[in-house]
Structure 1
Amino acid sequence: MSSTRERIMALLAANSDSYISGQSISDQLKISRTAVWKQMKVLKEDGYLIEAIPNKGYRIISTPTKLSENTLQWGLNTNWLGKSIEFFEEIDSTQTKANILAQQGCNHGTVVIANKQEAGRGRMNRTWYSNNEDGIWMSIVLRPKVLPAHAPQFTLLTGTVLADVLSKKTELDIRIKWPNDLFIGDKKVAGILTEMQAEQDQIQHLVIGIGINVNQLTSELPDEIINKATSLREETSHVYSIRELIQAVLHAFEKAYDRYLDTGFSEIKTNWENRGYKMNENVTYHSGNVQSQGIIKGINEDGALLVQNSHNQIITLYSAEIDW
């Protein structure tokens, strides 16, 4: 159920071109006029510009640009995703916090978002540079009723969602590098980290971490990644609204997730392969201590990479390191 504040925000949004009286809000939400006034005060402290005129009521004039639980939920018209948002100005890692919340029994669709991460992390315990307010750093808690073997499909689903959203917002050609990165040209712009707690036949929870470089300049990136990473701003010379991008991702993710549960993985597989980085190109890969070459042909139902080797055989790679 939505909180009182969320319902007040929804009423203000629905009446953004007119005034809504405190009495009307009180009646519709079944709360006191004093409670309405207190909630308005909190919203104003959060940066909302709210006009209050006697005998007319309240009207929203403008919303703040800074991130908060309130601003993130303003205009977020999802059914279940992001109904519970945990926002932090600064945190060690949204992924760590989301895992803790998941273990404590938080709701399916809970989202953890931070302005800055002190210890952002990616796949294989690699560091993700996110100690700034210029990107999207968030983690989503999911409790899908699917077998644990299907968990890798959610990483691929997330990749297609991010690629679709970012392509629409920027008109850039966003590519998905197996298994969990998004590239513009040959530089990384976003990454995905999926972690799971499961029993043999049941997923207890998934936590999907998402990091997107949005408004950073190349000059602000650490020296060790300056030639490997980029941002939306760097590629388009445009400064983006972090809030609007987060909401666009959450909207698209919920829709794709629900569709996946209804129709299965085939549509995601096709979308991924249409956006795959270096699809049908020759790459060098390392499996164990063996180095080989092959042509990337797509992905399997279980999220593995399909490669055609020098003998024209299609082999399946689950954990190989690839020289991209």
Structure 2
Amino acid sequence: MATTTRERLISLLSDTNEYKSGQKLSEVLGCSRTAVWKHIEELRKEGYIVEAVQKKGYRITTRPNNLIPGEIKHQLDTKKLGHEIHYEESVASTQEIAHQHALKGAPEGSIVIADEQTSGRGRLGRAWHSPKRSGVWMSVILRPNIPPQKAPQLTLLAAVSVVQGIEEVTGVDAQIKWPNDILIDGKKVVGILTELQAEADRVNSVIIGIGINVNTPIEAFPDDIATIATSLKIASGKEVERAYLVRAILEKMEKLYHLYLDHGFAPIKLLWEGSAASLGKRVRVRTITGELYGNAQGITEEGVLLVEDDEGTIHRVYSADIDIPRES
């Protein structure tokens, strides 16, 4: 994994049990002690608390809750995902930037991540509230050798990855609402948007956008979504380290992605159904042609939702909004 001098310095100073002398850092990083000092000052400006003790050296004692590449790559255990990171403080949409990088040949596993989106979007062009420094707004570029019609399966794979990452980092139980939402206690905490760059018979790239309300306080949600949205901090009662969450999700996603490429969708389908919020429940299905009420029975090998109506007819739902009425 290619790393910058700043990223290597963060890694070297992250062992809080050991100080690193300026001379040692200079030798390992291949730069002057003055350059080392300048890098440390820049880290302090970014919110790191770097302790300096005479005759011992430096160490990081407190890390900021940010999403700079050095924080994400620190202890990241993947072969591809997250090795190339394009970070911005504020963007219109990480999806738009990811599309541009994908067209220019960005390697598989590249991610675009931002501290704020000013024009974040979800399915059907809906706006996605993406306030500064409170969430994770990222897009992952994959280049699977699959036919275009199978690309929706990767939305479900990404959803399982996010649920597993959330559970590892926070211990909170999250559930998936078909096709692309993740809920905690019935409220939306994550949205996933999958888009293609493809030809008639082959996929050039799949771009998976993931928006997570991480540390968003309840008062920060607009009035129109305040009753249906939540964040990991609200659910867990504690602030969540965003870079740790991103690492966990990328690691889970890479493992599931290789499982998918090697064994197909069947193992992903089982994992998805194990975290599904709607299976066995009565749902309202809203499509461009009308509404359908019935019981969600499961998904097909293609990721299509199966809903049985009150007459016993099974409907295959390819694209729709799903509502799960709250139990009284």
Category of TM-score, reference length = shorter chain: 0.7 to 0.9
Deviation track 1:222-258 (CA, whole Å, cap 9, x = no partner) reads: 1111121112222232222222222222222222222
- Deviates most, 58-67 or 201-210: 58-67
Report if the CA contact (8 A) 1:64-1:71 is conserved: no
Aligned equivalents of 1:100, 1:135: Cα separation in 2: 23
8 A contact 1:22–1:33 mirrored in 2: no
Q: Which residue of 2 aligns with 1:71?
A: 71
Q: Could you tell which deviates more after superposition, 258-267 or 101-110?
A: 258-267
**TM-score, normalised via structure 2 length:** 0.87
3-state SS, counterpart of residue 223 of structure 1: coil
Q: When the two structures are aligned, how many residues end up with a matched partner?
A: 322
Partner of 2:130: 130
- 8 Å CA contact 2:170–2:240 kept in 1: the answer is no
Name the CA distance, whole Å, in 1 between partners of 2:290 and 2:258: 40
Q: Deviations over 1:81-130 (max 9, x none)?
A: 11111221111111111111111221211111111111110000000011
Partner SS for 1:255: helix
Tell me if structure 2 keeps the 8 A contact 1:98–1:139.
yes
Q: Distance in 1 between matches of 2:288 and 2:230?
A: 31
Change (3 A) 1:313 1:36: same
8 Å Cα contact 1:110-1:141 kept in structure 2: yes
TM-score (normalizing by structure 1): 0.88
Gaps of at least 5 residues in structure 2 are: none
- Residue in structure 1 matched with residue 178 of structure 2 by the alignment: 178
Q: Within the alignment, does 1:225 sit opposite 2:222 as a pair?
A: no
Q: What percentage of aligned pairs have identical amino acids?
A: 41
How much has 1:19 moved relative to structure 2? Answer: 4.2
Structure 1: any 5+ residue segments left out of the alignment?
Answer: none
CA distance in 2 between counterparts of 1:12 and 1:264 reads 42
| Rounded Cα–Cα distance in structure 2 between residues aligned with 1:188 and 1:32 | 47
- Tell me what 2:204 maps to: 204
Residue 192 of structure 1: aligned partner: 192
Higher mean C-alpha displacement, 213-222 vs 155-164: 213-222
Distance in 2, matches of 1:273 and 1:43, equals: 44
Quickly say closer, same or farther: Cα 1:172–1:70, change in 2 above 3 A.
Answer: closer
Match of 2:99 in 1: 99
User: Do the aligned partners of 2:138 and 2:211 also contact (CA within 8 Å) in 1?
Assistant: yes
**Which residue in the other structure is 2:304 paired with?**
304
Q: RMSD across aligned C-alpha pairs, in angstroms?
A: 2.6
SS at match of 2:96: helix
Distance in 2 between the 1:25 and 1:152 partners?
Answer: 47
Q: Secondary structure at the match of 1:258?
A: helix
Letter in 1 for 2:243: R
Report SS of the residue matched to 2:141: strand
Range with bigger deviation, 94-103 or 71-80: 71-80
**Counterpart amino acid of 2:75?**
G
Q: Give distance in 2, aligned partners of 1:157 and 1:21.
A: 45
Asked whether the 8 Å contact 1:80–1:109 carries over to 2, the reply is yes
